[in-house]
Chains A and B, each alone.
Chain A
Amino acid sequence: MTEHELRDLIAEVAEGRLSRRGFVRRMLALGLTAPMAGMMLAHSGVAFADATLPYKPTKAGGGGLLKVLLWQAPTLLNPHFASGTKDQIASRIFFEPLAGWDKEGNLIPQLAAEVPSRENGGLSADGREVTWKLKRNVKWHDGKPFTADDVVFTAEYAADPATAAFTTGAYTNIKVEKIDDHTVKITFREPTPFWADPFVGVTGQILPKHHFGEYKGAKSREAPANLKPVGTGPYKFVDFKPGDVLTGERNPDYHVPNQPFFDRLEVKGGGDAVSAARAVLQTGEYDYAWNLQVEDDVLKRMETGGRGRVSTVVSGDIEFIILNTTDPWTEVDGERSSVKTKHPTLSDPKVREAINLLIDRDSIQKFIYGRGGTATASFVNQPPRFKSQKLKYEFSIEKANKILDDAGYKRGSDGIREKDGKKLKYVFQTSINAPRQKTQAIIKQACQRAGIDLELKSVTASVFFSSDVANPDTYTKLYCDMEMYTTTQPQPDPERFLNQFVSWEIANKENKWLGRNVSRYSDPAADEAYRAAQKELDPVKRAALLIKVNEIFCEAHVILPLLSRTRVAAGASNLMFDHSGWDVDTWNIAAWYRT
């Protein structure tokens, strides 16, 4: 998709011929995030919409107890220490950012009075300054007023490396100044096309200076407020037992009129996803459960009871397969899968193309993931008129056979193809997770019929996703021919997500396999487009460049995307809730209510 085509699409949205949601869907298919799509529209004069839940109750309180079940239990409540989603969800109940992302990628003001734009003077023409106007009359839970000082402090707190905040990346290269008590200006060192990262969403929750001021840097872990949060959120902290239960009560001074609806709130943790779904859908013991990575069939059966319903929202998570073009079975300078080696057969583009044809994405979606994912052959598959012919997804054993025949791979006596004595036998690894093992089996069957033999290997998730340098089975080591996993896109800006396609991020021994480019494949054109995107201020041009980076990898059949995953949650049938794939589930919990 070129810049020109993107502009056409944006114009269609502006004229109302294409819905905002349709546009966002298409951008998702191109590997961009919904927030990025929203930013493109905003830049082109299509204002952010509001796809949040319409709030019906006419007074705050009176809703009784809201019971939320997280099957991974929250263990800490400081949003800047929160490494896992479970902790982010828990801390977001008490702390708020200046703005959050709704499910369609709209930026919704929370502690800000409005979202900065060129029209309201919030964004400078050179792309280096963002001015946020803060909401007035917001009070911390202890009654102190919320001011620009707290915002400035939060940036200092997170930026200090000694604090060891997980959000530090968003605050390191910026300068934050207080203009007046309710205005804050952010100055970026370089023109920054995606400015909505500091103080926004997951990374942006504002801390009260009067509670954390003394605990910046090395003393951060001693702050009493780490476990007894004082925020601006809709619920006040009551009690917290790490790894078990968190309770809150209604904040009577909440800054949004008539919110929140519930008087008390309980977040229980622990157990597993299936029984969490059961507690909401079947027995109704809980009102809401999150991240239900459960087979869709099981969820459907539970839903028949009528006590609850399953809700899915799109996210940037993509399940995909990497084909290793380096040789995983030869050791060079103390590492396997080194870029100095070439895979005996997978370095042949024809073989990779054939394997891509042997993945029955439709069946994988239909029989394994259901509502949990949407089949995607490449990042580019929507809409029809932009569907690239090269990247069309297809499942065809005959075509794969023909490609391999033409490329000179002949079947041996055991039915496995070979050329120059090199057999098409591969080790295909992934983490242990029932849907993944089923997917492996489906692909293995199809490959068998095309004369390719796959040996399936599955590694415990805690090892596979660890960064243990000594373990050969981690996903970044890629000591196998093929591997499959999901990359999550927790941050709304796809630029950092796409750095897994650049040459300087290749994982190797030197960087202790922490490099983001796990596939080890690189292409000068992708590097160039990525570098250009980093500097490009026009969001539309930038999107076109990032899409190009994506396309290069898909066209080379090094990255074979399977499904774009959705976030699955379950809620009681009378609970009106609002979760988003671009922010944490509780980002808008103030607006949840019961009918």
Chain B
Amino acid sequence: MSVADLVAVRRASAAQQRAENRTLTKLTIGPSPWARAGALAALIVLAALWLVPLAWGTVTSFKHEAEAALPASWWPAQGWTLEAYQQVLSNSDLLVWMWNSLVVATLVTFLTVLISAMAAFAFSQTIFKGRGLLQWLTIASIMMPGQILIVPLFRQMQALGLVDTFWGIVLPQVVAPVMVFILKRFFDAIPSELLDAARIDGAGPWRLFWTIVLPLSRSILVAVAIFVFIGAWNNFLWPFIVTTDPQFMTLPVGLSTVKNAYGVQYAQNMASAMIAALPLLVVFMLFQRRIVQGVATTGMGGQ
């Protein structure tokens, strides 16, 4: 498919979307232009309110430090500057933490999706002794709020020598019984004719899992992965407990634990926050549709 074709398909799809939206508008608020204007105004006000904190943080981050500490103004008299960003990037471990976060979130996502999918496959497509008990245990563990385990888990990590290691941060996060059930429900719905045909052809469970179940479940796997990744990237409490060495801290922990040595610097604070916020915001802009869909399906999945 050439680029021109792709663009054409895109345009057609966008046009179709617009038509659908117009229909939707008619169906929900009817033909009255006043009602439409009212709804639009409400949306604009809400969206503006929701963007103020980010906008204000961005503005501050581009101010000179001295001006940031003056009473609030949206337009700095001394002009804009990248000073705060330069300071933060050269004087702090921000990039180290960002890398740590990437490593941790990627590992958590990969391991969670893998072991959850395998377990879901076992529950959905195989029969073994103790399966009922294990499934019951999995459901029961959904109710266990991990946050209350911080004290014994910290002790356990100390005993294992995993405090201040990536594995110490990652491993306790890969237990996601909810994801097992989301995936199991999906695997249950795979047409049995497909699986039976493969079984008759002599395919073993590994081949079923890798060549039929996983490829057919790509959309749900991506959804789960997105959800797990966002959660792991932003997780604060556990990484905060299990890291004391700043070199192993993730972004949220490093940002809130390590301070700069030059006193309160509002512009630099905001520059750090903006840099920390950027990766997921950019990813979101690129893959909005997928992420919205992934979060919506997975978020409800536990129910």
Whether both chains belong to one complex is answered with: no
Residues of A within 8 A of B (CB): none
